[in-house]
């Protein structure tokens, strides 16, 4: 039997087991069999990682490095990621079940995020203020915010790491990166590239572990200055409570139930493709999944038939195989949640038009599923299932579509399919979501910020402004007068 890979914590430039010896096992979702083990951090390990980050912030090797030099390290890291994208993708696919075609290409593409922030590293500027006091020179400068706790989930970890690590390192921060305890292997592999790129020890540490021993001590640690969290709303509530202990600046990128509105004048083939991309991309395991398909009643039948035709041709199989289009879900618990949600939807009057059951094969496989909903209260329109389930609901007017789309506690992604330019502008402006795609879906770029409204979180990642979120503004006042400072007790 082949020996299983074992991944250690990466703290202060060295690899080690957890101080309390805790080890977790990761299953391959495509087979249901254990494939790797990894060390888990204890509170002492968290303290060690944060201590290393705090130390390196005061170390001239990192503290006095010019912003241009930091940018060069990020350029080097981008190149290493691209060179190793296929191997990182293979590890991520084995660990999480996501398609190799997606994990490898996504890993390669995140190199562009590091290059983007590498280019911005020496563009972080202050300003001279036209102050209203005579004989005063006043200016601002942006300084690194300090120690960053970056917490990422398993479902798009290389991408979501880049949106945090890129701006944080460009700004001169030090980062403790917590990988999900579900499928963390690719981030431990990524730690090798950070080391090869030449970042000083302590600038980035990579750990994982459960909530009690790792996540809670990390997010409430007194030496953490900023928390960047991606995950679910329930975990986020704990993060926010924990941040009250250290007053860390916190951003949250959470889940969603994104609407995709298809108007009667839309290109129906394009709309069907958009709905498929929004629901079955990453096997539905995406926070921006467009799981609420709102289709004008006059074209609902045509759109549903186009989707069913495409679903019937989908290749389900081994995620390592290049022809596979839908792979397994990361955990068996996701399938159980989907089954329960589908049962509630059917009991409420919904119709399963396609799929609807787990596949009888080894691994965590769920058939791609299409649900036609009776009304907006259908369970599949409310629950984030994180799997390949698409729900369709008819609407009759633009106002009704907007009202249904906005009737949710979430607000991350949204989509509009129409050939009417005026309508595209009008509707996209009224949707309560941080992202709106028009006649496309799931497009991303390092140049474009993203984030949510309401229970989809707050703060933005990617884009130029994100780098400022990893800095603090310092204002400096300098008297330019040769006269001594006046006696403050003499009022004039």
| Helices within 286-348 (DSSP H only) | 300-312, 332-347
Q: Is the dihedral of CA 56, 58, 64, 68 positive or negative?
A: positive
Q: Alpha-carbon distance 275 to 133, whole Å?
A: 59
Q: Which residues make Cβ contacts (< 8 Å) with residue 272, sequence separation at least 6?
A: 303, 306, 307, 310
Distances (CA, A) of 162 to 14, 88, 187, 298: 21, 14, 11, 43
Residue 212 known to be catalytic:
no
Q: Are 218 and 150 within 8 A, CB to CB?
A: no
Catalytic residue from among 189, 253, 379, 461? 253
For 57-93, give the DSSP string: HTSHHHHTS-HHHHHHHHHHHHHHHHHTHHHHHHHHH
How far apart are the C-alpha atoms of 268 and 245, rounded to whole Å? Answer: 52
Q: Give the phi and the psi of residue 90 in degrees, each rounded to 5.
A: -65, -45
CA distance 103 to 320: 10
Residue 93, both tokens: 């696919």
Q: Cα 225 to the chain's mean position, in Å?
A: 20
Phi, then psi, of 340 in degrees rounded to 5:
-65, -40
- H/E element, 352: strand 351-354
187 Rama class: left (phi>0) / alpha (psi -120 to 50) / beta = alpha
Helix (H, G, I), strand (E, B) or coil at 103: helix
In 8-162, beta strands by DSSP E: 9-11, 14-16, 23-28, 33-39, 127-129, 136-144, 147-151
Residue 33 and residue 164: Cα distance in Å, rounded? Answer: 32
Which of the residues are catalytic?
A: 253
């Amino acid at each position: 039997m082949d020996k299983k890979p074992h991944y250690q914590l990466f703290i202060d430039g060295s690899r080690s087991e957890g101080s309390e010896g805790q080890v977790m096992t990761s299953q391959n979702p495509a087979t249901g069999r254990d494939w790797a083990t990894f060390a888990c951090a204890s509170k002492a390990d968290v303290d060690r990682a944060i201590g290393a980050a705090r130390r390196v912030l005061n170390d001239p090797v990192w503290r006095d490095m010019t912003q241009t030099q930091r940018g060069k390290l990020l350029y080097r890291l981008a190149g290493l990621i691209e060179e190793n994208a296929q191997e990182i993708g293979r590890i991520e696919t084995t660990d999480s079940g996501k398609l190799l075609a997606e994990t490898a290409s996504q890993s390669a593409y995140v190199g562009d995020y590091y290059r983007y922030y590498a280019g911005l590293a020496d563009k972080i500027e202050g300003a001279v203020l036209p102050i209203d006091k005579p004989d005063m020179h006043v200016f601002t400068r942006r300084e690194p915010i300090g120690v960053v706790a970056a917490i990422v989930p398993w479902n798009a970890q290389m991408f979501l790491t880049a949106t945090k690590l890129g701006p944080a390192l460009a700004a001169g921060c030090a980062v403790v990166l917590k990988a999900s305890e579900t499928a963390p292997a690719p981030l431990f592999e990524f730690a090798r590239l950070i080391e090869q790129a030449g970042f000083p020890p302590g600038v980035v540490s990579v750990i994982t572990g459960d909530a009690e021993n790792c996540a809670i001590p990390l997010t409430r640690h007194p030496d953490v200055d900023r928390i960047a969290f991606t995950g679910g709303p329930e975990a986020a509530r704990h993060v926010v409570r924990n941040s009250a202990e250290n007053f860390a600046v916190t951003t949250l990128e959470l889940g969603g139930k994104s609407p995709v509105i298809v108007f009667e004048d839309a290109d129906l083939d394009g709309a069907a493709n958009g709905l498929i991309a929004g629901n079955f991309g990453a096997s539905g395991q995406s926070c921006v999944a467009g799981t609420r398909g709102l289709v004008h009643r006059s074209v609902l039948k045509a759109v549903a038939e186009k989707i069913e035709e495409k679903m019937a041709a989908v290749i389900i199989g081994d995620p390592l195989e290049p022809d596979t289009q839908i792979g397994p879900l990361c955990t068996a618990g996701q399938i159980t949640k989907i089954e329960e949600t589908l049962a509630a939807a059917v009991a409420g009057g919904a119709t399963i038009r396609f799929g609807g059951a787990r596949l009888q094969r080894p691994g965590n496989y769920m058939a791609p599923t299409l649900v036609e909903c009776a009304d907006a209260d259908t369970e599949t329109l409310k629950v984030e299932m994180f799997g390949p389930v698409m729900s369709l609901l008819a609407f009759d007017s633009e106002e009704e579509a907007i009202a249904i789309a906005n009737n949710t506690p979430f607000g991350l992604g949204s989509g509009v399919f129409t050939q009417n330019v005026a309508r595209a502008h009008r509707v996209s402006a009224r949707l309560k979501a941080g992202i709106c795609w028009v006649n496309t879906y799931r497009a991303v770029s390092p140049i474009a910020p993203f984030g949510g409204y309401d229970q989809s979180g707050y703060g933005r990642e990617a884009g130029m402004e994100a780098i400022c979120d990893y800095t603090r503004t310092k204002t400096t006042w300098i008297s330019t007068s040769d006269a001594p400072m006046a006696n403050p007790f003499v009022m004039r």
